[in-house]
Amino acid sequence: MSSPKFSPLYRQIKELLLDGLRAGEWRPGDAIPSEIELAARFHVSQGTVRKAIDELAAENLLVRRQGKGTFVATHGERQVRFRFLRLAPDAGEPVSPERRLLDFRRARAGADLARVLQLRTGDGVIVLKRLLVFDGDPVVLEEVWLPGGLFKGLTAAAITEHKGALYNLFETQFGTRMVRAEEKLKARAADAAGAKLLGVEPGHALLEVERLAYTYGDRPVEWRRGLYKTDRHYYRSELG
């Protein structure tokens, strides 16, 4: 019989804080209680709480603000803004793109999509298609699939009017925060329709990126596929 795994006390406090995030006790942008208050609440030392918060901050779930406290991170934070958009220009710093919505519709999940998003076949989903434009140059063509029940009330107008990242809209309007993602990359030749939208010739080499994004509790809540034009950009990854 295997022995139960030992979990350090700060990790137990970390899980309790995550429980609060999952339950919506603290929403994106909210301040969490001070370390002293949390230490009293959980009957542990302030140092134990600090270590738990340090890990959550390193995972971009919380953010410390000097002289103000600790807050639930949002996708509007400078240090988080490019966490999921990993395309960077060959020269200069990453910039936020112009986002053009090409299509927005409601559909039914097929068996494959239902399996990926942990839905039932036939459940409602939202499908949108967008073009990301950097300095007037269309660089990313992407399709996004979302669970319809989770994003009930989402409209094309809301997406078009929102000026920031899509994930920022999801957390502010629907209380759903993307906390991690899995990606698969593959070389792909542009078809005629994609080539026209990206301003290249059919057959042009593109980078295809498939992403499955998760919210708290490892719940998958978005699947997207993007075609990236990398003539003047590269896809960056941080390891370790």
Kindly report whether the global pTM for this prediction surpasses the value 0.85: no
Do the domains at 9-72 and 87-235 have one common CATH topology? Answer: no
Decide if 85 contacts 99 (C-beta within 8 A). Answer: no
Tens digits of residue pLDDT in 72-95: 888 766 555 556 777 888 888 878
Nearest to 105 by CA among 125, 122, 120: 125
Task: Band the pLDDT of 231: cuts 50, 70, 90.
Answer: very high
Number of residues that this document lists for the chain: 240
Instruction: Give the CATH class of 9-72.
Output: mainly alpha
Domain boundaries, the chain: 9-72, 87-235
Tens digits of residue pLDDT in 165-177: 898 899 888 988 8
Decide if 90 contacts 229 (C-beta within 8 A). Answer: no
Q: Does domain 87-235 have CATH number 3.30.2180.10?
A: no
Cβ neighbours of residue 24 under 8 Å, at least 6 residues apart? Answer: 175
